[in-house]
Structure formats: C-alpha cells, structure tokens
Amino acid sequence: MNVIAGDIAQVYNLNCASGTSGTVTVFFAGPAQFAGIFPGSEVPVVAPNSLTYTIADFGAIDIYNAFKFYMTTDTNTLGIPDVCFTVNVTLLSGDLNPLNNTYTHCFTVWNSFDPNFKEANPVNIIANTAEWLTYTIHFQNTGNAPALNIVITDTLDADLQESTFTYLQSSHEVFTQVTGNVIKFNFPNINLPDSINDEPNSHGYVQYKVKIDQGLNVGATISNNAAIYFDFNAPIITNTTTNLVVAPTGISDEITSNYQLIPNPAHAYFQIISENQSKKQVSIFDISGKLVLEIKDYKSGEKIDTSNLDAGMYLVKVQNDHYIHTSKLILN
C-alpha cells in the first residue's frame, strides 16, 4: 500500500480460510482517517480508530474485495509519524494457533512518488537468526490503455535463502516461477485498467517472504529491487530496499512472531499473548525513554491497564532470565 500525504489510500485483501466464522478487526493509528468502503465490500462496525467485520463464513466471501476500504491522510504529514494498521482475526471455534492471528504493519507517508515500488519488512534484522523478510512489490498502470499482461522479475540477494521462498498473496491471479535466486511473477490477461480512466483499479501488488542466511555480521545489508514489465514496454525498475543486520537487544532475542500485543493500537488496556507461559517482567517506556509502567510478575494473557497513559507511541519490553523482547505499542 502506498500512503500519500493528503491523498486517499486503498486498503484491501485478506487470505481467508473456509468453513469458519469469526470477526476481523482492523485497528489504525497515525495521520489518517477512515473514509469509507469500496462498493461490494463487507460492511464493518466503525469506531474512531477501528473497523470490525463479523463474518458468518470465511469461505463464502470474496477475499479480494471483502475488506477494501479508503483512508484519507493528513495534508501536512510527511515521513513521520507512520500510518500503522493492526489486523486481528478471531475465530469462534477451532483455532489451533491464536498467535498467528494478529499482524501489524506501518507505512511511511510520502508525497510525490513512483507508484511502482518495493518495500521490505522488518527494516532491521537481528544477527544470528534465520529471520523472515517480507517483500511487497506494488505496481500501477500509469499509461493510457489497459495493460494486458504484466511480468515482474525479482533477483534475491545472495544472503537470502532462496529455498525458503514462500508466496503470500497478490491483488490478482499470478503464476510464480522460481529459477535459482530469480523469482518471476506472471500476471497473464490481467487487463489492468490505466490510471487515467480507472485510477482506483489501476493498482496491483504481489507479496512473498524469504529467510535470511544465519551468521551474517552486524552491519551487513541485504538489498533488493524488482523489474516490472507492462506488456512489451521497457521494464520499470523499482527502488532498492535495504535491510540492516543489527545486534540483539538483550540476552537472547526470540522470534517476534512468538509474541503479540493485542489489541495494538490499544486504548484502555492490552494483553501480551505468548507461547511461553512463564512469569515475565514487563516495562513500558514513552518515546523519550521514560519508564511509565512496570509489572514484575506478568503472565501471558493478563490485561495491562493503560487508561492512565496519554495517547501516543510506547515501547514494551518483556524480559525474563533467558530473553529480552521489545515491541512498539500505540495508544489512542
């Protein structure tokens, strides 16, 4: 997703399982406001900083259109703060692993930009871990006629494990071919409208993840870009993403996905969901580094009262004798 100062950004897509029911809640924070849903999308319950969808059967909805909505961004915000979204899926029954039900992603607000671009998440990579990098390639047909076929080629950095390549999702049907460290995404007969005649539908994207090599030295970087071919035109080369390998922040960091702050953004309370049920010390710091709340013996799932804290961004540090883990928390 591209977030432009003063513009309307489109948010869409969710991979859905069939035969289950539940709710999808989207929390948002930063210089953006909800502006409405796309025609034909599911209708959410709208709160000041969240949208909640009640789904009777995930298998009966159109995953490409069910959760499309508009956000308008402030006109005087560039670079910081980010616009952040947290999506939480709650199933009524049969959820074997609730730890993978929440995902947070933040987007920088830009001004004039190339709509064909690539992003990588996370920006910093912990040294000596086989961490996943998630890449998203965005494209837009800025010509004056529909693009019949689109092909994207992506050459993985030598420090990425090509055998771990995992396709995640895309805006349109795509065929993926992996040859060594070269990934080819083919969108045949996509018929992507041009931005002049149909700007909202002139966008597309593809997303995948891949693991980094273990043993990279602190300070090493992983760089990547992609080439986007619209029909028989010369390729458009995206920006180059750069990810930095950094030192662990504590005794031994655990994989980020083992911990979730729910909800995030939060208001009166939040919970830390963890596979590790041992007691932990939780420390919350404001953006100046001041300790504002501390819990000595915290157990996973307990509610942490934040009603006395001001709205803003905080760092939550979770620690025991074996690890230290730090996450960003947004309070509305």
DSSP, collapsed to helix, strand or coil, labels residue 256 as: helix
**One domain, residues 41 and 106:** yes
Residue 160 lies in a domain: yes
**One domain, residues 129 and 149:** yes
Among 83, 110, 137, residue at a domain's last position? 110
Residue given tokens 């947290």 in the structure block:
86
Where does 97-201 show beta strands of DSSP type E? Answer: 102-107, 109-110, 117-121, 124-126, 132-140, 150-155, 160-170, 175-179, 182-187
CA distances from 229 to 148, 166, 173, 175 (A): 11, 22, 16, 15
**One domain, residues 122 and 241:** yes
pTM for this entry: 0.52
CATH code, domain with 188: 2.60.40.740
What CA–CA distance (Å, rounded) separates 133 from 162? 12
Residue 203 CA to chain centroid, in angstroms? 18
What CA–CA distance (Å, rounded) separates 315 from 175? 40
**One domain, residues 150 and 170:** yes
Could you check whether the bond before residue 265 is cis, i.e. omega within 30 degrees of 0? yes
58 phi/psi in degrees, rounded to 5: -65, -25
**One domain, residues 305 and 264:** yes
Burial 280-292 (b: 16+ CB within 10 A, else e): bebbbbbeeeeee
Among 85, 110, 135, residue at a domain's last position? 110
Among left, alpha and beta (phi > 0; psi -120 to 50; other), residue 20 is beta
Residue 231 lies in a domain: yes
- Which of 228, 221, 321, 305 is closest to 270 using CA atoms? 305
**One domain, residues 133 and 230:** yes
Where does 141-268 show beta strands of DSSP type E? Answer: 150-155, 160-170, 175-179, 182-187, 203-212, 221-224, 226-230, 236-237, 241-246, 259-262
Q: Are 219 and 227 in contact (CB under 8 A)?
A: no
Q: Tell me what pLDDT residue 275 has.
A: 66
What CA–CA distance (Å, rounded) separates 174 from 75? 35
Q: Which domain holds residue 316?
A: 256-331
Q: How many CB atoms lie within 10 A of CB 271?
A: 17
Could you check whether the bond before residue 81 is cis, i.e. omega within 30 degrees of 0? yes
**Token pair belonging to 312:** 């803003």
**One domain, residues 176 and 271:** no
pLDDT in tens, the chain (332 residues): 444 444 445 454 555 667 788 888 888 877 778 888 888 888 999 988 888 999 888 888 887 778 888 887 766 554 445 677 888 888 877 777 766 777 777 776 655 456 888 888 776 777 777 778 889 899 999 888 999 999 999 999 999 999 999 999 999 999 999 999 999 999 999 999 998 899 888 999 999 999 998 888 877 889 899 999 999 899 999 888 888 787 665 434 343 445 678 887 788 899 887 766 677 889 888 766 678 999 988 888 889 999 999 887 787 888 776 666 767 787 87
What CA–CA distance (Å, rounded) separates 71 from 287? 26
**One domain, residues 181 and 287:** no
**One domain, residues 206 and 103:** no
Q: Count of domains in the chain?
A: 3
Residue 251 lies in a domain: no
Q: Tell me what pLDDT residue 215 has.
A: 81
